[in-house]
Structure 1
């Protein structure tokens, strides 16, 4: 039987597995979570008392349906699930999987990458302090453990996730000092028209959440500094849309500017990348089904940021492409392709409504920490430009930007803006940091044969 490996058990991975199982295949699914669901439908530990409606809001029925479908396939023995595991390398039609028992190879004939996305972060002076988290980490703590990471919280960034996390925290009883959105009202209105035309109900739901934030929400702000003492943040300094200086007291800060596609494994699999000026990031190149060639297929936010519904569609399309290439029957995909195009129109409008704050990043003071892993400042990166030129990997070698645990996930896009501004070239010309294994931190002990003398 053909060996199909699916990396990721979020909406895209679950729907891909479902379609493969229906065709008689037995896929292997690797996921970092303890149970399937992904970030958007992350499941809490057993015995957790908060209801799905409380955890997932209006998406509760979708979340529960996906959870049940995956669990049913697993209980029936129709797939193999490696939980709490990460694919850290790809080579020779085998994935190196890091799990609770160390690293083991998992061979495959076909590979479906449903790796999802991570937070897209922009540096803010002072963001290296303990107590400054991404919006995704803030949401994980709330969903997984029912924990608010601070007693007085400021959330800052832009995009629907900013509003959603703020609403979820308020609903859970957390105290929020301010929700600071760098996107001006003007861009939100112009992009919002396109969002409403593509997905009116989703747009209306997001607007309703925004209204419920009331005076906590501020649009068109400029973030000046995160002030901290020895215990963590004490305030966020910012300018409002009129240029007035403001300060919001806090003991925790959550940051995020929408999402960034997780592409490290796609890179190792040899998938071509291209700069997307709308999404302001490097994205994998595939056909409409997610087919990247050589038995590799992409689905979900790891291909393009389309959200949970778009991820489900992408999982079905990638699995259909895989089945077609194997000569096996698959369902009609015309409706799926039409629906995915609608999701793309919505996502493109969303990027216009909540743009990446390129100018804010380019204007950062020289002493601002750019790479939190390595403690590299904006000035350190600029100092490397005379020798590196406008090339991401040479600048990395000379400055250590992107050499830390995150491998550039949090600093690459901001670093490219700094390099582009210093060199006077378009940001796309800077290039991208090359992916290299292991794509996740792995302890040396995981590679040791525990049975050896």
Structure 2
């Protein structure tokens, strides 16, 4: 049986989904925004760069190489479309912007695997809009894809495993890492060890990064509260509080972030049902253990439906592809499907351990000053959001957006949505799950103005 499967996203989940579909006689379309497949964690350097995998991916070099070989081996067996941004979906058609030509074409689908991955979870501090401040993911892209650092003397702050991984990668590359400032407390991390030991190999790698940083003189501080980024025209330093007193440290680059958040806009436009996940501290599209969403023919795989890491993304991509095939009468290995689900399930204990080790800073909103820019696209401050609640009765995220313009800019709420929800919850006295989420809007990401005008005219007719 010949199907018409389309996969959005060529990270670990998307590649394994494509490989599985091809192995069962299908020729899926694989659409990816990046120039080369691999996703963020296994982002490939440009073809003319010559750095060895061990330099780029460290202990993950073997897995990265295997994944790259998998996608390279699919040449001719799949319809691979890099440099292609899916910016809208409706009526069984994906609107796709092709990079070099900046033209948009429609791609039909009958079955769709959404493997859109994740992006940084941001909680801003005063000074975060200064040149020289990057998210952790942005700092990692600069190093992996462009072979450059965000500064000569860099501070990394926030929390989560990515904080230590990026600091390690920078220090390993020869950059002066001035400090790692973690909002998580050491006692919480120690209490989470039993849960994290359920994945001993992953846990050992994390311990190694921390030990390596300490052994090479990088200052590691736990239980801190970042106060501000210092500087006038660009970064000159950072200030933080350790619970006793304020500290400052000179630097010319800052990487910050609070773990990752799922990219859910496409799932939203597809009409998938969402629910709040306490573990992920976010509203996420619902899926069954095989990856089926609430919308027939739409399957969810990888970090775009919940952050579980690259290993889980590979398993989820393969499992979603097997579910797609089975749902359309293609014979699959049911024992393999069960095995993948069990592997995925085992990771949940470890994931809960990570959440305990690197908890979301629930007190962030209480410390956010009124003049803090929350939405940099529209220059909306925390004070403006609080005033909108107080004077206009905004008590839900989309109402807040309509009245304050938060989340209406180029990022469509990717950078400011989490922080805005925290401010709204604090200002209204509601738990975060009850303030709702910003609904996805097309275009998912910025597109040329002539395409937006054409889309508007088409909608009007």
On the 8 A contact 1:98/1:446 being kept in 2, the answer is: no
On the 8 A contact 1:362/1:417 being kept in 2, the answer is: no
Aligned to 2:303: 301
Which 5+ residue runs of structure 2 have no aligned equivalent? 455-461
Aligned to 1:33: 34
Q: Distance in 1 between matches of 2:193 and 2:90?
A: 43
Note if 1:272 corresponds to 2:273. yes
Q: Give me the TM-score of the superposition, normalised by structure 1.
A: 0.96
Q: Distance in 1 between matches of 2:270 and 2:262?
A: 15
Shift of 1:362: 2.8
Residues 149-184 of structure 1, C-alpha deviations (whole Å, 9 max, x = no match) = 111111101011000000000010111111100001
On the 8 A contact 2:365/2:426 being kept in 1, the answer is: no
Count of aligned pairs between the two proteins: 444
For the aligned residues, what is the CA RMSD?
1.3
Residues 325-354 of structure 1, C-alpha deviations (whole Å, 9 max, x = no match) = 111011231111111011122112111210
Tell me: CA distance 1:49–1:93, structure 2 relative to 1, closer, same or farther (3 Å). same
On the 8 A contact 1:267/1:434 being kept in 2, the answer is: yes
Q: Distance in 1 between matches of 2:245 and 2:315?
A: 45
Q: Distance in 2 between matches of 1:270 and 1:448?
A: 24
Q: Distance in 1 between matches of 2:410 and 2:179?
A: 30
Aligned to 1:217: 220
Q: Distance in 2 between matches of 1:302 and 1:309?
A: 14
Aligned to 1:245: 246
Q: Distance in 2 between matches of 1:300 and 1:362?
A: 33
Note if 1:327 corresponds to 2:329. yes
On the 8 A contact 1:103/1:447 being kept in 2, the answer is: no
Shift of 1:447: 6.7
Which 5+ residue runs of structure 1 have no aligned equivalent? none
Aligned to 1:180: 181
Shift of 1:190: 1.6
Match of 2:320 among 318, 321, 326: 318
Aligned with 1:233: secondary structure? coil
Tell me: CA distance 1:389–1:448, structure 2 relative to 1, closer, same or farther (3 Å). closer
Match of 1:427 among 426, 432, 444: 432
The aligned runs of 1:408-423 (5 Å cut-off) are 408-423=413-428
On the 8 A contact 1:238/1:246 being kept in 2, the answer is: yes
Note if 1:348 corresponds to 2:348. no
Shift of 1:319: 0.3
Shift of 1:384: 0.6
The aligned runs of 1:98-177 (5 Å cut-off) are 98-100=97-99, 101=101, 102-177=103-178
Note if 1:204 corresponds to 2:235. no
Q: Distance in 1 between matches of 2:157 and 2:428?
A: 29
Aligned to 2:457: none
On the 8 A contact 1:278/1:352 being kept in 2, the answer is: no
On the 8 A contact 1:283/1:303 being kept in 2, the answer is: yes
Q: Give me the TM-score of the superposition, normalised by structure 2.
A: 0.94
